[in-house]
Amino acid sequence: MTRAATTAPPATQISGQPYRLTAVLALLGAGLLGVGTSLHPADANPGVPAAAFSEYAADGRAGWVTAHLLQFGGVASMTLAMVLLARAVAGPGGAAWARVTAVCATAGFATAAVLQAVDGVALKAMVDLWSSASDDRPTLFAATLAVRQVEIGLDALLALVLAAAFLSLGVALLTAPARSRGLGGLALATAAAAAANGLALALGGFSNTAMLATTASGLLGLAFLLTAAVWSWRRAATRQE
């Protein structure tokens, strides 16, 4: 018994590691999403395809792909942080919610990968073809618009899947030990905004209402990531004491 106690790693040292990694991933996710979004062309109204496509065509392919890869990296970091956080805080009654969070976050990661393949690669290729074509432009425009509709569908589903992930994470945080209830409430607010965003996109495409919902959802998501980073880092420090 004495030997086992001597050779076993301290419990507090192990329990602090997930929180520290969660903090790093949450901060990284917020940074990547912020930079990627700032690099994305956003002057034209996305609900007016001709204007949006003209703006996209004027953007260099390298810059366009970079912006979307950064956004994908941000979603990847965010979903990993959500999974780690749910598992770290899960108490006796929260293990099931941690598993639900992992499933929904993984689905969100996969959906984001497909979305960026369509938006970050396929749409740009079609926009460039349409912009540079001298003949048959209406047909190319229709083909580009079809790719755009696929993008909208994926964007809507991504928002809804992430809403489910934030919802389950919020419940996991609310049922965890004290000092996680504020973060849990913020996760639930983010889930509600993401769900509204997904429904608005599914029903109206890139309408003004959907864009407002996207902005609100994005800001709440960034606020959650930054708050989770601070909370997790402090939690890791507490576990080391």
Rg of the chain (C-alpha set): 21
The pLDDT, as a whole number, for residue 158 is 98
The pLDDT, as a whole number, for residue 178 is 61
The pLDDT, as a whole number, for residue 15 is 60
3-state secondary structure of 8: coil
Average pLDDT rounded to a whole number, residues 147-161 = 98
Structural domain of 111: 14-240
Question: Does residue 26 fall inside a structural domain?
Answer: yes
Average pLDDT rounded to a whole number, residues 99-128 = 97
The pLDDT, as a whole number, for residue 153 is 98
Question: Does residue 2 fall inside a structural domain?
Answer: no
Question: Does residue 97 fall inside a structural domain?
Answer: yes
Using alpha carbons only, give the angle 35, 38, 40 rounded to the nearest 5 degrees.
Answer: 110
The pLDDT, as a whole number, for residue 106 is 98
The pLDDT, as a whole number, for residue 93 is 66
Average pLDDT rounded to a whole number, residues 206-213 = 96
Question: Does residue 5 fall inside a structural domain?
Answer: no
Question: Does residue 3 fall inside a structural domain?
Answer: no
The pLDDT, as a whole number, for residue 12 is 39
User: CA–CA separation, 65 vs 186, rounded Å?
Assistant: 31
User: CA–CA separation, 198 vs 4, rounded Å?
Assistant: 52
Token pair recorded at residue 114: 């497909």
Question: Does residue 91 fall inside a structural domain?
Answer: yes
Question: Does residue 126 fall inside a structural domain?
Answer: yes
The pLDDT, as a whole number, for residue 241 is 55
pLDDT in tens, 10-23: 433 446 788 999 99
Look over the chain and give the mean of its residue pLDDT values, rounded to a whole number: 91
227 has pLDDT over 90: yes
Residues 6+ apart with CB under 8 A from 210: 197, 200, 201, 204
pLDDT level of residue 7 (50, 70, 90 thresholds): very low
Question: Does residue 120 fall inside a structural domain?
Answer: yes
Residue 62 or 5, more confident: 62
Nearest to 158 by CA among 195, 117, 211, 208: 195
Token pair recorded at residue 12: 């507090």
Residues 6+ apart with CB under 8 A from 142: none
Nearest to 64 by CA among 112, 127, 114, 151: 127
Number of domains in the chain: 1
User: CA–CA separation, 188 vs 165, rounded Å?
Assistant: 10
The pLDDT, as a whole number, for residue 94 is 72
Question: Which residue in this structure is represented by tokens 């992930």?
Answer: 165
The pLDDT, as a whole number, for residue 9 is 42
User: CA–CA separation, 159 vs 163, rounded Å?
Assistant: 6
